A and B are shown apart, each in its own frame.
Chain A
Amino acid sequence: MTLCIHDLAVARGGVPVLSGVSFEIAPGAALILRGPNGAGKTTLLRTIAGLQPALSGQIDGADETIAYAGHADGLKAMLSVTENLTFWAQVFGNSDIEPALAAYQLDPLRDRLAGTLSAGQKRRLGLARLMVTGRPVWVLDEPTVSLDADAVAMFASAVTAHLRAGGMALIATHIDLGLNAATFDVAPYRAKADQRSGASDEAFL
């Protein structure tokens, strides 16, 4: 099982932002996505996660295999840490949330309402959600925002453990996680202004 991206073009608001993107992620491997702000990293990740259609190109091995974590964590302020995590575990057909709690040191917080957590703690909970999905491909958009150094280390070791178990990860980030992973810079794939094929308003030109 490999995640294969072939000649992918993605659009934001009907305007192409990236085109000709191709890469592969094999089991046990991770890929770090880099590029300046607004280059289209989030759009690329959302497209791969199946949240929006691609303009053209192929995505293989993404059906029912992706656990996506975007800017929002999908937490309910009025539910406790364990309730939030149990919900997502059940949605994905799992029940064991203990390893996830342990990996992000959420044990002491387990009965706190998510609304009372600090931003970093919320983020840790949001990342712990990935572990209860049981999905092999983690697609992460700026996962380390508002995490302190310790929490980043927790995250890095969680990713390492996931990879060692045969998982895959595609991470858009600007900081060095200390992972043994290839880097993919999206900047050269920026869709040119004259390359307007596929834009939703193309027909009007």
Chain B
Amino acid sequence: MSLWEYANPVKFLGLSARVQPYLWAAAAICVVVGLVWGFFATPDDFRQGSTVKIIYLHVPAALMAINAWFMMLVASLIWLIRRHHVSALAAKAAAPVGITMTVIALVTGAIWGQPMWGTWWAWDPRLTSFLILFLFYLGYIALWEAVDDPDTAADLTSVLCLVGSVFAVLSRYAVKFWNQGLHQGTSVPVATGGRTVSDVFFYPLVISMVGFGLLFLALVLYRTGTEIRLRRARALLARSKKEA
């Protein structure tokens, strides 16, 4: 039995229907435990006060924002090479989740940055990279929406995802280079400020990260299922029109 069997939409729907309840439950437990523990059961940081607690939202969201793109990249490659529809639709389904995670990371970062750095936004390499990632997500989703034929849309967005990944990496290094060049040894304490994490902060953070990962997985499975059903409905509609 090969993993590729689940590239068949019907089999995929069956498996994902069986897995999803557990996945949702596990995700909910991890997110709730991680956040509640993080918000209420950890001490305030001696330097950052209670603001540090936004880390339990910020870091997992940022992590998933990048991993979602990575997942889309792998799914796009699978579509281009093996032409499994589920793969293309999974990439399509992951994009809105990824962009939401990016926005959460950016917004929580701004809320965290305001009391810490005295500014909502700084053109720090890390922040700027996320802004660029946001733009890439935006373009990817817009291209999916703009192309009528679903297979052509899958082809085009897959290539865009590949090319975009290369340019996203290039941008990351360009941005690092650019800001050093501007500030000549910056004095702004960067998002690593809260990363001197001791165990008290670390365990809830890990639980929260796992929770966000599971949540992402559940959301993508759910959304992929919706996309598959949409395609199925369209396929059936096309057949019934032809017979009539």
Interface residues, chain A, CB within 8 Å of chain B? 13-15, 193, 196, 199-205
Verify if B232 is at the interface (C-beta below 8 Å from A).
Answer: yes
- Bound together, the chains give a CA A202 to CA B228 distance in angstroms of 12
Chain A residues lying within 8 Å of B150, measured Cβ to Cβ, are 14, 200-201
Majority secondary structure of chain A interface residues (helix, strand, loop or mixed): loop
Asked if residues B238 and A200 are in contact (CB atoms below 8 Å), the reply is no
Verify if B234 is at the interface (C-beta below 8 Å from A).
Answer: yes
Verify if B149 is at the interface (C-beta below 8 Å from A).
Answer: yes
Asked if residues B242 and A201 are in contact (CB atoms below 8 Å), the reply is no
Cβ distance B232 to chain A, nearest Cβ, rounded Å: 4
- Bound together, the chains give a CA A15 to CA B239 distance in angstroms of 9
Chain A residues lying within 8 Å of B239, measured Cβ to Cβ, are 193, 196, 205
Chain A residues lying within 8 Å of B9, measured Cβ to Cβ, are 203-204
| Interface size band for B | 10 to 19
Majority secondary structure of chain B interface residues (helix, strand, loop or mixed): helix
Asked if residues B238 and A201 are in contact (CB atoms below 8 Å), the reply is yes
Number of A-B contacts (CB under 8 A): 33
- Bound together, the chains give a CA A193 to CA B235 distance in angstroms of 12
Verify if B223 is at the interface (C-beta below 8 Å from A).
Answer: no
Chain A residues lying within 8 Å of B235, measured Cβ to Cβ, are 199, 201-202, 204-205
Closest to B239 in A: A193
Interface residues, chain B, CB within 8 Å of chain A? 8-9, 85, 149-151, 228, 231-232, 234-236, 238-239, 242-243
- Bound together, the chains give a CA A14 to CA B232 distance in angstroms of 14
Q: Which 9 A-B pairs have the closest CB atoms?
A: A201-B235, A204-B232, A193-B242, A204-B235, A193-B243, A204-B231, A200-B151, A204-B9, A203-B85
Asked if residues A13 and B149 are in contact (CB atoms below 8 Å), the reply is yes
- Bound together, the chains give a CA A40 to CA B97 distance in angstroms of 40
Cβ distance A101 to chain B, nearest Cβ, rounded Å: 39
Cβ distance B93 to chain A, nearest Cβ, rounded Å: 15
Closest to A205 in B: B235
Taking A14-B151, A201-B235, A204-B235 as known contacts, 8 extra A-B pairs with beta carbons closer than 8 A to each other, sorted by chain A number, are A13-B149, A14-B149, A14-B150, A200-B151, A201-B150, A204-B231, A204-B232, A205-B232
Chain B residues lying within 8 Å of A205, measured Cβ to Cβ, are 232, 235-236, 239
Looking at the complex, which one of B85, B149, B242, B243 makes contact with A204 (CB distance below 8 Å)?
Answer: B85
